[in-house]
Amino acid sequence: MLLLAMDTATPAVTAALHDGSAVVAESSRVDARRHGELLLPAVDRVLAEAGVKLDAVTGIVVGVGPGPYTGLRVGLVTATTFASALGVPVHGVCTLDGLAYAAGLDEPFVVATDARRKEVYWARYADARTRVTDAAVDRPADIAEQVAGLPSVGAGALLYPETFPDVRGPEHVSAGALAALAAGKLAAGEDFLDPLPLYLRRPDAQVPKNYKVVTPK
């Protein structure tokens, strides 16, 4: 087994290789505006570090979000293109699940990433591998009662300390953690998500509903 994992659902552009037992190479860079520029070089770096060619990969793992429209689709399009070219399966994993797995907590907690617009993408977990709510997008103040008393993980939690006072690491998702989670799911015969974007809301850029008439009648 050699899994190539990637995620662009958050400001972290991250790629990793996992051989079924451990992460053999990983590259991550935080830059919210350069997902398209940074992902393929990150893939090249992990392949070079591991000393393998792309055709050695037996499966693709990709974070499906939730995340902003433009950044999220960079990883998904790249993952599905690689899978099609190589003739290997592509496994979708919730990005929040990757953060939860990396946190490694064995108690109830919350994962929250920055959704912009003064909102967070979030979900509650019973432990590092068990999500107990669907991923959602909300204003922190609106979910304060639901997350009260729980430790939290993720960059979204760091932005709103009044709602998330007990923030643990990591701040950003890691493709290595995403790959390790996927390797465990494969070994256990668990299902994956389809490699489709989990947006949770409409994109920021929208076609105006009513065009202003600028030509003479």
Q: What pLDDT sits at residue 69?
A: 84
Strands 119-127 and 152-153: unpaired
Distance of CA 167 to the CA centre of its chain: 19
Closest to 134 in 3D by CA, of 200, 86, 77, 190: 200
Residue 26's pLDDT is what? 98
Q: What is the pLDDT of residues 144-154, one digit of tens each?
A: 999 999 999 99
What is the model's pLDDT at position 70?
85
Residue linked to tokens 């689709």: 73
How long, in residues, is the chain?
217
Listing DSSP states for 108-128 in one string gives: -EEEEEEEETTEEEEEEEEET
Q: Model confidence over 92-136: pLDDT tens digits?
A: 999 999 999 999 999 999 999 999 999 999 999 999 999 999 999
Would you call the peptide bond into 41 cis, given omega within 30 degrees of 0 as the criterion? no
Asked if 27 and 14 count as a contact pair (C-beta separation under 8 A), the reply is yes
Q: In the prediction, which pLDDT does 201 show?
A: 75
Cα–Cα distance measured from residue 44 to residue 180, given in angstroms and rounded to the nearest whole number: 20
For the chain, residues with pLDDT lower than 70 are 202-217
Beta bridge mates, 195:
none
> What is the per-residue pLDDT for 68?
87
